[in-house]
């Protein structure tokens, strides 16, 4: 008669150790994502500063006019160009040489006369303009933060 035996103790131990290591890596990766270093602006988390950003945008005959009507300096803008074939998101610095290096301070304004040409062969239905802010991490490094498009994006229908 044949006696049936389970897995050998060595194989069972290797499988158990492998399972514990993989589980530990998953938990470590999850916790690491939760403890992302915050970018601060004016003493508060930059995500909270987005609600204080106020700007105006106008598009007319290929010219895009942007003005900062709030108290928060705006470093840049993400421009989402949507058309029938999909969408493309670009930074304002990619689209215009007129954009000031320091961004728009309180009351600042800029006209981008070549905006219609800079979006290339796209025939957009709408553009969504979202502010980008600059802040400082706890380690003293500067970091860019794009505000949430759904909450703070400004849509212009073309």
Give the residue extent of every domain in the chain: 39-157
Residues lower than pLDDT 70 in the chain: 1-7, 33-37, 116-122
Classified by CATH at the fold level, domain 39-157 comes out as: Immunoglobulin-like (2.60.40)
Predicted confidence at residue 82, as pLDDT, reads: 85
Q: Closest Cα to residue 131, out of 81, 83, 67? A: 67
Work out whether strand 124-137 and strand 63-68 pair parallel, antiparallel, or are unpaired: unpaired
Predicted confidence at residue 63, as pLDDT, reads: 86
Predicted confidence at residue 1, as pLDDT, reads: 56
Residue 12 burial class via C-beta count within 10 angstroms: exposed 0-12, middle 13-18, buried 19 and up: exposed
- pTM score, whole prediction: 0.71
3-class secondary structure, 62:
coil
CA distances to 24, 95, 115, 136, 153 from 107, rounded to whole Å, are 51, 22, 21, 23, 19
Predicted confidence at residue 2, as pLDDT, reads: 64
**Distance in angstroms (rounded) separating the CA atoms of residues 152 and 131:** 8
């Amino acid at each position: 008669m044949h006696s049936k035996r389970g897995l050998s103790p060595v194989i069972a131990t290797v499988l158990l150790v492998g399972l514990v290591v993989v589980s530990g890596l998953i938990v470590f990766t999850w916790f690491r994502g939760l403890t992302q270093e915050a970018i601060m602006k004016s003493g508060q988390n930059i995500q909270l500063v987005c609600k204080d950003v106020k700007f105006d945008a106008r598009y007319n005959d290929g010219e895009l006019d942007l003005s900062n009507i709030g108290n928060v300096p705006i470093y840049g803008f993400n421009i989402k160009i949507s058309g029938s074939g999909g969408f493309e998101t670009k930074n304002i610095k990619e689209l215009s040489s007129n954009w000031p290096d320091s961004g728009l301070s309180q009351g600042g304004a800029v006209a981008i006369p070549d905006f219609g040409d800079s979006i290339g062969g796209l025939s957009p239905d709408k553009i969504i303009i979202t502010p980008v802010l600059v802040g400082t991490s706890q380690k003293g490094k500067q970091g860019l933060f794009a505000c949430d498009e759904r909450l703070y994006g400004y849509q212009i229908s073309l």
